[in-house]
Amino acid sequence: MLDYHDKTAHTYRSVRMTSHRIDWDNPPKPFKLYPEHFPRIALDAKVPSHRFVMLVGGISAQKSYPGVTYALRTNPSAGALYPTEAYVQIRNEEGFEDGIYHVSPFENALVRLSDLNENEGVETFLHVKKIKGFIFLFSALYYRSSWKYRTRAFRYCLLDTGHMIGTLEASCLLFKRDYRICYTLDKEDLNALFAFGNEEFFLSSVIVGKEDETSSPQTLKTVLVSTDGTGRFEADLRIEEAYRATCMLRVRQAQSAMPFFAFDRERWAQAIWKRRSIRDFAQKPLLQEQFFEAVRFATEPIPSDCDESVDLYAVVNRVSGMEQGVWKAGKYVQKGDFSKDAGYLCLEQALGEESGVTFFLVGDDAQNYQAMMQKAGIIGHRLYVSATYLGFGCSGIGAYYDDEVKAFLQCKGMILYAISIGY
């Protein structure tokens, strides 16, 4: 997997010498829409269980430019391309009929793909007993990203899916529901069950419910029906090979502890819904307590069956009461004004230089690449939501000079993500 990450690294030369014509007149479709004859459950924000689902990647606003309108969602996405799709099995939840659904943010609805009886379910693909509650399944339609970002798009699919999981985590905290992430999926069998071609593949699952230790459902006997999710498709064999090469988890460490973030419920709900990617910073310093609170939440436990180590480096540019420098795990690695370095390393984007803090997320486990990259996306989403809640801005940066960041931080491993926060 290190080979894929290395070969998709940006360098000063590669971003200037590599030619790639983007067909702006023919972008992929941003929504997967099933035919009208599929039954639907319209989501009603006044019903708590419906509101819980609506916050998972739901459309929160629209942004218009001459000739085009974008739907903004509760999850950020590189280039606003939104490659992640969500499906959910629901059993014994008030406000829903038992079944397997596609989550359709465009329609603000759940589209029923299959009925569900007591003796069948997707649990067998997750190697768990019967779940009473929700089983969310997250997939990627990678061409939505590769249309613009080419082979590096697999990175964005993983980070974007981590952000989608982050929206579910934020909704779970709001509605006081426990959850756990499952990366141990029979992905190829699930892909076949949902009738995916090579253009879509499952990446992870999140269980929000209780496990019935006395019951083990059988595998669904009927293959589900899929539908075109992009409108057009160009295969990238390097992405498909990277996916297959990273589906199997190696040695893994589970994490069972739940995260904690003390919040006012109404403000937290507004933060989930109003989260946006900031486009520029006014260069007003963050407060020291704001920085530490954002870091504290970002580094809280993430319950999953494969908890990979991700280190959080912070380039402190403008935080009142703190010296400038590179900060990690409560102490400075280097001291000095590195704001211009941070801006240069983020492909010379002003966001990296003018922020209060620019974070770099670093991991070193190529064995469990999918889980590690999605964890980086979850951490990124925690920074987004906590920044919004605390009253300042955040922007994820998926493009940076990989090897130069490593040299600057004097670290080994892989650079997974960059994120800037500030006023």
The answer to whether 292 and 356 have CB atoms below 8 angstroms apart is: no
The answer to whether 313 and 416 have CB atoms below 8 angstroms apart is: no
How many beta carbons lie within 10 A of that of residue 121, not counting itself? Answer: 26
The answer to whether 301 and 259 have CB atoms below 8 angstroms apart is: yes
Q: What is the pLDDT of residue 205?
A: 98
Give yes or no for residue 19 having a pLDDT over 80: no
Q: What is the pLDDT of residue 31?
A: 97
Confidence band of 85 (pLDDT split at 50, 70, 90)? very high
Q: How far apart are CA 22 and CA 397, in angstroms?
A: 20
Confidence band of 70 (pLDDT split at 50, 70, 90)? confident
The answer to whether 219 and 125 have CB atoms below 8 angstroms apart is: yes
Give yes or no for residue 417 having a pLDDT over 90: yes
Q: What is the pLDDT of residue 259?
A: 96
Give yes or no for residue 97 having a pLDDT over 90: yes
The residue behind tokens 């600057």 is 408
Q: What is the pLDDT of residue 367?
A: 85
Give yes or no for residue 168 having a pLDDT over 80: yes
Q: What percent of the chain has pLDDT over 90?
A: 89
Confidence band of 62 (pLDDT split at 50, 70, 90)? confident
pLDDT digits (tens, 9 = 90+) for 218-264: 988 888 999 999 999 999 999 999 999 999 998 889 999 999 999 99
Q: What percent of the chain has pLDDT over 70?
A: 100
Q: What is the pLDDT of residue 364?
A: 85
What average pLDDT is seen over the chain?
Answer: 95
Q: Which of 47-56, 125-134, 217-226, 239-248 has the lowest mean pLDDT?
A: 217-226
Q: What is the pLDDT of residue 266?
A: 97
Q: What is the pLDDT of residue 223?
A: 85
Map out the domains of the chain with their CATH numbers.
21-245 (3.40.109.10), 276-422 (3.40.109.10)
Q: How far apart are CA 235 and CA 257, in angstroms?
A: 40
What would the mean pLDDT of 29-42 be, rounded to a whole number?
A: 97
Q: How far apart are CA 374 and CA 306, in angstroms?
A: 11
Give yes or no for residue 133 having a pLDDT over 90: yes
Give yes or no for residue 366 having a pLDDT over 80: no
Q: How far apart are CA 189 and CA 220, in angstroms?
A: 11
Q: CA triplet 143, 310, 297: central angle to 5 degrees?
A: 100
From residue 71, give the alpha-carbon distance in Å to each of 64, 193, 279: 9, 30, 17
Sequence-ordered list of residues with C-beta below 8 angstroms from that of 109, at least 6 positions apart, any chain: 40, 41, 42, 43
Q: How far apart are CA 277 and CA 384, in angstroms?
A: 8
What would the mean pLDDT of 406-419 be, rounded to a whole number?
A: 96
Give yes or no for residue 15 having a pLDDT over 70: yes
Would you call 258 exposed, middle or buried from its count of C-beta atoms within 10 A (0-12, 13-18, 19+)?
Answer: middle
The answer to whether 318 and 261 have CB atoms below 8 angstroms apart is: no
pLDDT digits (tens, 9 = 90+) for 274-323: 999 999 999 999 999 999 999 999 999 999 999 999 999 999 999 999 99
Beta-bridged to residue 212, according to DSSP, are: 130
The answer to whether 421 and 383 have CB atoms below 8 angstroms apart is: yes
Q: What is the pLDDT of residue 18?
A: 75
Q: How far apart are CA 386 and CA 275, in angstroms?
A: 9
Confidence band of 1 (pLDDT split at 50, 70, 90)? low
Three-state SS annotation for the chain: CHHHHHHCCECCCHHHHCCCCCCCCCCCCCCCCCCCCCCEEECCCCCHHHHHHHCCCCEEEEEEECCEEEEEECCCCHHHCCCEEEEEEEECCCCCCCEEEEEECCCCEEEEEEECCCCEECHHHHCCCEEEEEEEEEEEECHHHHHHHHHHHHHHHHHHHHHHHHHHHHHHHHCCCCCEEECCCCHHHHHHHCCCCCCEEEEEEEEEEEEECCCCCEECCCCCCCCCCCCCCCCCHHHHHHHHHCCCCCCCCCECCCCCCCCCHHHHHHHHHHCCCCCCCCCCCEEHHHHHHHHHHHCCCCCECCCCCEEEEEEECCEECCCCEEEECCEEEEECCCHHHHHHHCCCCHHHHHCCEEEEEEECCHHHHHHHHHHHHHHHHHHHHHHHHHCCEEEEECCCEHHHHHHHHCCCCEEEEEEEEEC
Spell out a b/e string for 283-304, using b for 16 or more CB atoms within 10 Å of the CB, else e.
eebbbeebbebbbebbeeebbb
Q: What is the pLDDT of residue 17?
A: 83
Confidence band of 67 (pLDDT split at 50, 70, 90)? confident
